[in-house]
């Protein structure tokens, strides 16, 4: 995978003093219970965006599970295929049998600290995944003599070949039929010190992946802490809410531990893999799971952490073109629901009719030539959403050139697939939800096909062609095609609504054979994807009247609550979608915060990972994105400072990123915005909603007062590349 520029998103952190967050550790007083698991482990976690460490086991038998984002069993069916488990390290200290348990996951240090005690014996364990090296360092000390036993291991089975020698173990997949490419990982252990612990002496164990262990442990640890110190300085928020600040910080930590530039993209469970055949193969699920973990990184100014996102989509383009031609006889790219790295499809139907019948209630395993599209045509465009979010956030020409062929292939597909009927473009048979055989419907599913103008499809297609015009104009490409794209935008079918009991509500689809889809359900997770996030084609600036309908729908989410924390129906999926969407449509900020806290209390692990039934890493964007959107919005082309925040509550943010390639800091104190500081990376015009309603605004450019002032409810001012601007009210 090509390594992108590491400094993108690191710039301009000095314009306002970003602060390192408080400790905000997550503490364990008993051993983790949910390890190993097919989903999110309930254990202390550490990682470097490639290697993941899950700290499981008990004091007398610690089990360190190692995951790696690029270790896949490249088999196109799960279970069996998907991201694989490399192995682990067992640390046995028999003297700690039935000892007390204490461990903490420390985001600011990117490390795990544990203390185990029994009678007069106390053992301390510190472990981390070095930020700049693929080495796990574990240090153990004790206050009296005790023996440590070490066992480096890799699991057998699942057609793996396991080899072992002194201080190393390897696991590989290579000769399995249908395997698309081979993979291998080698763990190499080095021990420094005596395995019979002595008071005042340290036992250090390193486990290095795929190369000879590094010798200078002190240098690795210093580089590790320096990386995390700089990471926390890149942006920050202060909202005087310790609980949310803690989850905000921890979510950023877990995402940074899962994703880095130059590394393979994380799947549904990130690098925290503790067994083969994790749920959904731990793959890149394209109908939102793969995209959502990155959403908060854009506004949090962690652009470089999104560098790895595009490559799997670009790698699948060749197969995507074949799917479009072979199955639909049209141009462009057509993606199944799940893919992996290197052009891998993870989602073939089971290979035999018997397996198909056992799992899905039908013997028909050749649906769509054996690929799982599940009635959805929109997956490739769903993938384009993050590309557009990054483009608008950076206006990086090199990046735009890189992803433009993908965007253009999406446009080719939808130019051919859309139908122009009665003066409008319509979308047939692209389904709001997954339509598939299963044991519950006993394989009877085709009668559910036929969604017409799904809000998911309409919104994302509108997002695509709006983006095509913006990106092609920026790159001076395909000017002759813009008339067609504009015609589609202008004539795309309106989003369906229906009046029920005197209130206009959003419909999921204009019409459908599914009674559930065809009703006026109001705004929900899937329609949010098309309209608000990541679609970004609706909002109070774009269309205030339609936004009022969406806001009304959100205000009725409480009516559907079955239990505390279920606001927005996010126990299954969607916490990272519904809460930021409620912010964007303008729902009451205090109520959103109240419901967000209730959701966290209702369903989250002891390591601070907010859990959902249908996914994992996507929830890491939930708290950061919700808070960021309360403090700063720009997705509708207009910068809005504290747009949905209770102005009676003090708040502050440093170095959040806005569309237009602006990095912004501001403070709200005693009901008044104190200042707005803006760094313009690309010199674009900035449209801003006046932070001081009714007052004129003065500009200071590169520490020099500007001669003119700005007035009005909104205003636009020019900027220069790399210019620092401060806005303040003219008193």
666 lies in some domain: yes
Decide which of 205, 233, 261 is a domain's last residue: 233
Beta strands in 472-543 (DSSP E): 497-500, 503-506, 509-511
Q: Which pLDDT value is given to residue 11?
A: 37
For 651, the domain range is: 641-729
pLDDT at 517: 79
Query: Tell me: the pLDDT tens digits for 32-74?
Result: 999 999 999 999 999 999 999 999 999 999 999 999 999 999 9
Choose one of 208, 233, 258: the last residue of a domain. 233
Tell me how far apart the alpha carbons of residues 392 and 106 are, in angstroms, rounded to a whole number: 33
Residue 313 lies in a domain: no
3-class DSSP state of 648 = coil
List C-alpha distances in Å: 673 to 478, 725, 728.
43, 16, 9
Banded pLDDT at 7 (limits 50, 70, 90)? very low
CA distance to 19, 414, 464, 496, 666, per residue, from 655 (Å): 10, 37, 28, 38, 9
Give a yes or no: residue 635 inside a domain. no
Max alpha carbon distance in the chain (Å)?
84
Q: Is residue 2 assigned to a domain?
A: no
> Would residue 99 be called left, alpha or beta, if left means φ above 0 and alpha means ψ between -120 and 50 degrees?
beta
18 assigned to some structural domain: no
Task: Examine the pLDDT at 21 and tell me if it is beyond 80.
Answer: no
pTM across the whole model:
0.96
Q: Is residue 442 part of a domain?
A: no
Q: What is the DSSP letter of 436?
A: -
Are residues 471 and 400 in contact, defined by beta-carbon separation less than 8 angstroms? yes
Angstrom distance (rounded) from CA 637 to CA 686: 9
When pLDDT is cut at 50, 70 and 90, the band that residue 215 belongs to is confident
Cα(347)–Cα(367) distance, integer angstroms:
12
Chosen domain end from 212, 233, 254 = 233
Q: Which residues contact 215 (CB under 8 A, 6 or more apart)?
A: none
| Structural domain count, the chain | 2
Q: Is the pLDDT of residue 197 over 80?
A: yes
Give me the mean pLDDT over the 163-170 stretch.
97
- CATH code for the domain of 166: 2.70.98.50
CATH number reported for the structural domain that contains residue 682 in this entry: 2.60.40.1180
**pLDDT for 466-493, tens place per residue?**
999 999 999 999 999 999 999 999 999 9
CB-count burial class (<10 Å; 0-12, 13-18, 19+) for 543: middle
* Cβ atoms of 577 and 527 closer than 8 Å: no
CA atoms within 13 A on the CB side of 32: 29
């Amino acid at each position: 995978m090509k390594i992108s520029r590491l400094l993108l998103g690191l710039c301009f952190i000095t314009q306002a003093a970003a602060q390192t967050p408080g400790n905000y550790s997550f503490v364990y007083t008993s051993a983790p219970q949910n390890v190993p698991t097919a989903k999110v482990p309930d254990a202390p976690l550490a990682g470097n965006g490639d290697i993941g460490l899950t700290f499981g086991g008990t004091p007398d038998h610690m089990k360190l599970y190692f995951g790696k984002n690029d270790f896949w069993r490249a088999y196109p069916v799960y279970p069996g295929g998907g991201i694989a488990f490399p192995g682990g390290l067992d640390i046995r200290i028999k003297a700690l049998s039935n000892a007390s348990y204490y461990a903490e996951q420390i985001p600011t240090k990117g490390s795990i600290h544990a203390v185990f005690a029994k009678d007069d014996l106390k053992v301390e364990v510190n472990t981390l995944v070095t930020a700049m090296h693929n080495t796990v360092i574990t240090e153990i000390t004790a206050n009296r003599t005790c023996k440590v036993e070490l066992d480096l291991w890799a699991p057998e089975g699942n057609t793996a070949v396991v080899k072992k020698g002194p201080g190393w173990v390897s696991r590989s997949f290579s000769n399995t039929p249908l395997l698309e490419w081979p993979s291998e990982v080698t763990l190499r252990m080095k021990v420094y010190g005596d395995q019979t612990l002595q008071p005042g002496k340290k036992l250090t164990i390193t486990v290095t992946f795929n190369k000879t262990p590094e010798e200078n442990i002190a240098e690795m640890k210093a580089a590790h802490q320096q990386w995390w110190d700089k990471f926390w300085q890149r942006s920050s928020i202060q909202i005087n809410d310790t609980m949310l600040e803690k989850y905000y910080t921890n979510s950023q930590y877990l995402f940074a531990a899962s994703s880095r530039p130059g590394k393979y993209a994380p799947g549904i469970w990130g690098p925290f893999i503790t067994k083969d055949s994790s749920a959904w193969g731990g793959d890149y699920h394209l109908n939102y799971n793969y995209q959502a973990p990155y959403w908060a990184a854009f506004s949090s100014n962690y652009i470089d952490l999104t560098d790895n996102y595009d490559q799997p989509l670009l790698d699948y383009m060749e197969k995507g073109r074949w799917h479009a031609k072979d199955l639909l006889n049209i141009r462009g790219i057509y993606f199944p629901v799940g893919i992996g790295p290197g052009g891998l499809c993870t989602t073939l139907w089971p290979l035999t009719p018997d397996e198909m019948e056992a799992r899905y209630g039908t013997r028909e395993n050749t649906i769509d030539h054996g690929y799982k599209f599940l009635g959805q045509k929109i997956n490739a465009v769903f993938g384009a959403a993050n590309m557009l979010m990054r483009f608008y956030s950076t206006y990086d020409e090199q990046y735009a050139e890189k992803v433009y062929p993908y965007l253009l292939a999406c446009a080719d597909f939808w130019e051919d697939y859309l139908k122009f009927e009665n003066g409008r473009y319509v979308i047939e048979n692209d389904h709001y939800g997954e339509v598939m055989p299963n044991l519950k419907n006993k394989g009877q599913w085709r009668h559910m096909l036929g969604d017409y103008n799904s809000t998911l499809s309409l919104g994302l297609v509108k997002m695509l062609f709006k983006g095509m015009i913006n990106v092609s104009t920026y790159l001076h490409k395909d000017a002759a095609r813009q008339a067609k794209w504009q015609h589609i935008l202008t004539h795309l079918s309106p989003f369906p609504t229906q009046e029920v009991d005197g209130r206009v509500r959003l419909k999921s689809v204009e019409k459908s054979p599914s009674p559930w889809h065809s009703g006026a359900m109001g705004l929900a997770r899937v329609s949010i994807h098309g309209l608000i996030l990541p679609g970004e084609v609706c909002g109070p600036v774009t269309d205030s009247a339609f936004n009022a309908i969406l806001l009304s729908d959100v205000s009725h989410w409480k009516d559907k609550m079955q239990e505390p924390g279920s606001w927005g129906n996010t126990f299954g999926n969607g916490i990272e979608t519904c809460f930021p969407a409620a912010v964007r449509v303008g729902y009451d900020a205090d109520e959103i915060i109240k419901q967000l806290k209730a959701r966290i209390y209702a369903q989250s692990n002891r390591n601070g990972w907010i859990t959902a039934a249908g996914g994992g890493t996507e929830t890491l964007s939930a708290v950061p994105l919700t808070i960021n959107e309360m403090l700063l919005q720009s997705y509708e082309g207009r910068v809005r400072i504290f747009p949905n925040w209770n102005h009676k509550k003090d708040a502050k943010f440093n170095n959040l990123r806005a569309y237009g390639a602006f990095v912004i800091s501001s403070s709200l104190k005693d009901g008044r915005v104190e200042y707005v500081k803006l760094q313009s990376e690309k010199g674009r015009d900035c449209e801003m909603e006046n932070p001081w309603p009714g007052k004129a605004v003065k500009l200071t450019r590169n520490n020099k007062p500007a001669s003119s002032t700005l007035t009005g409810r909104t205003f636009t001012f020019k900027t220069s590349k790399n210019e620092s601007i401060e806005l303040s009210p003219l008193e």
